[in-house]
C-alpha cells in the first residue's frame, strides 16, 4: 500500500488506557504521558500524511518510459536513453497527431449532431438520435485517448431515473463512463468553447446546467436534480460526490448532498492502470490544456469499470451514513483505500470543528463522562 510507517490501531481512549496501565490514575486526573500520544499522532501525520499525498500522482514501482519517477537521477544507461527517445518520437510524432484529429472529429460531431437533433420536436425518435450522437461522439473521443476500457457487471448499468455516483480521478471519467451508456451531466455553465459544447448538448438532451449564482443555492440545485430524477424517462444523472479529483489510490468523503435527492443510487468504481499513463488531474499543477497534452502523449489510458448493484437509503440511515456506505462499496470493489477525509482539504484548511471534536473526546476521557471514545 506504500505506507511509510505502521500506525497503531485503536481509538484515542484505548491508546491512552494502554499508556496509563503502568501507573493507574483516578478519574479526572491528567497524566503527562497523555501528551506523548498527541505528539506521536502528530509526527505520524507529518511523516505519512493520508490526505495531501492523495493529491499528487501515484508513485510507480518501475519506469514506464514516460517521465522519470526520480528527478534527481536522469541518466541510467545509453540503451535506456535510446529506447526512451524512440518512445518520444512514437508518442509525439505518430500517436499525438492521430489523437488530436480524432478529438477534433469527436467534438465537432458532438456540436453539429446535437444542434441538428435539437431542432427536432420532442419524441422517442429524438431521444434515440440524441443518445446515438452522444455515444458516437464519446467513443470517438475515447479512441482519441487510446482508451482501453474493461466494463464489468454490465447487468448493473445505471437505469433511467436513477443517479450514477463514481469515484473521481480525472475529467475524462465522463468520457470513460459515457462510452458505455448515456448520462445527464450536471455542472456549472461555462463560457468559451466549453460553453458552446454545453449549449449544443442541452438542445438535444436534458442535461442539468447551473448558472454560477445557482450553484451557491443548495436548495435550488437539489430541487432541479430531484425533479430530473422524478421523471423516470430521463437519463440517469452522473455525479462525482468527492467534488475533486483524487489520484486513484483511494476514495475520499462523499458529499451528502447527492444522497439527499432521493431515488436509486447506482455506484460505479473506476480504476486506472498507471503503468500506461497517469490519468490523475492535478489541477493545482496543470491547467486543462497541459493535462490533455499529457493524456494524448501517454501510451494509452487503461481502465477497469465496475458497475455495482443499485443501492437505496435504509430506514435507519441519514444521507451522510448512506453516502459513506456507498463510498465503502466503491472502494472495496475498486481496490482503493477508503478514507473519511474531505477532498475539499485539497484547497482548504481543516475545519476548526474537527479540532474541537478531538478536544471534546479527550475531555470526555479525562472526566469519565462516557463519551463516544471513553468506553474502552
At residue 72, the pLDDT reads 47
Q: Is 72 buried (19+), middle (13-18) or exposed (0-12) by CB count in 10 A?
A: exposed
User: pLDDT digit string (tens) for 160-194?
Assistant: 888 999 999 988 999 999 999 889 888 777 677 77
User: pLDDT digit string (tens) for 336-353?
Assistant: 988 887 766 666 666 677
Q: Is residue 141 within 8 Å of residue 168, measured between CB atoms?
A: no
Asked if residue 373 has pLDDT above 60, the reply is no
At residue 101, the pLDDT reads 94
Strands 265-272 and 301-307: antiparallel
User: pLDDT digit string (tens) for 95-132?
Assistant: 999 999 999 999 898 889 888 888 888 888 888 898 89
Q: Which residues are CB-neighbours of 248 under 8 A, at least 6 positions away?
A: 58, 167, 169, 270, 271, 272, 274, 279, 280, 336
Class of domain 67-340: alpha beta
SS3 313: coil
Q: How far apart are CA 55 and CA 49, in angstroms?
A: 11
Q: Is residue 268 within 8 Å of residue 309, measured between CB atoms?
A: no
Where in the chain are the domains? Answer: 67-340
User: pLDDT digit string (tens) for 22-33?
Assistant: 666 655 566 666
Q: How far apart are CA 375 and CA 14, in angstroms?
A: 9
At residue 67, the pLDDT reads 59
Residue in 197, 180, 198, 208 with CA at minimum distance from that of residue 103 = 197
Amino acid at each position: 500500500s506504500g505506507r511509510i510507517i505502521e500506525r497503531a490501531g485503536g481509538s484515542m481512549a484505548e491508546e491512552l488506557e494502554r499508556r496509563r496501565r503502568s501507573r493507574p490514575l483516578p478519574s479526572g486526573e491528567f497524566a503527562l504521558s497523555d501528551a506523548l500520544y498527541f505528539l506521536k499522532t502528530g509526527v505520524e501525520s507529518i511523516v505519512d500524511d493520508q490526505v495531501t499525498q492523495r493529491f499528487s500522482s501515484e508513485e510507480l514501482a518501475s519506469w514506464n518510459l514516460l517521465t522519470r519517477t526520480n528527478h534527481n537521477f536522469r541518466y541510467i544507461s545509453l540503451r535506456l536513453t535510446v529506447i526512451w527517445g524512440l518512445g518520444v518520437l512514437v508518442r509525439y510524432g505518430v500517436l499525438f497527431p492521430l489523437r488530436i484529429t480524432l478529438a477534433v472529429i469527436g467534438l465537432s460531431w458532438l456540436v453539429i449532431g446535437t444542434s441538428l437533433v435539437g431542432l427536432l420536436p420532442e419524441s422517442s425518435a429524438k431521444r434515440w438520435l440524441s443518445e446515438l450522437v452522444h455515444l458516437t461522439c464519446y467513443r470517438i473521443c475515447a479512441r482519441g485517448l487510446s482508451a482501453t476500457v474493461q466494463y464489468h457487471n454490465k447487468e448493473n448499468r445505471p437505469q433511467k431515473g436513477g443517479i450514477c455516483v463514481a469515484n473521481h480521478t480525472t475529467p475524462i471519467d465522463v468520457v470513460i463512463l459515457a462510452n458505455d451508456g448515456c448520462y445527464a451531466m450536471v455542472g456549472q455553465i461555462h463560457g468559451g468553447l466549453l460553453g458552446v459544447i454545453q449549449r449544443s448538448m442541452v438542445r438535444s438532451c436534458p442535461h442539468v446546467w447551473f448558472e454560477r449564482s445557482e450553484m451557491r443555492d443548495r436548495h435550488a440545485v437539489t430541487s432541479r436534480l430531484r425533479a430530473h430524477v422524478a421523471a423516470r424517462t430521463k437519463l440517469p444523472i452522473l455525479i462525482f460526490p468527492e467534488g475533486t479529483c483524487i489520484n486513484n489510490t483511494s476514495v475520499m468523503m462523499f458529499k451528502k448532498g447527492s444522497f439527499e435527492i432521493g431515488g436509486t443510487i447506482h455506484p460505479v468504481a473506476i480504476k486506472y492502470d498507471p503503468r500506461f499513463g497517469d490519468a490523475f488531474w492535478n489541477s493545482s499543477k496543470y491547467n486543462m490544456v497541459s493535462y490533455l497534452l499529457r493524456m494524448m502523449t501517454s501510451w494509452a489510458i487503461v481502465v477497469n469499470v465496475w458497475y455495482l448493484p443499485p443501492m437505496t437509503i435504509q430506514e435507519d440511515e441519514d444521507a451522510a451514513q448512506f453516502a459513506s456506505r456507498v463510498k465503502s462499496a466503491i472502494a472495496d470493489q475498486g481496490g482503493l483505500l477508503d478514507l473519511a477525509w474531505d477532498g475539499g482539504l485539497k484547497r482548504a484548511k481543516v475545519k476548526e470543528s474537527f479540532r474541537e471534536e478531538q478536544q471534546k473526546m479527550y475531555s470526555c476521557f479525562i472526566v469519565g463522562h462516557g463519551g463516544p471514545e471513553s468506553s474502552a
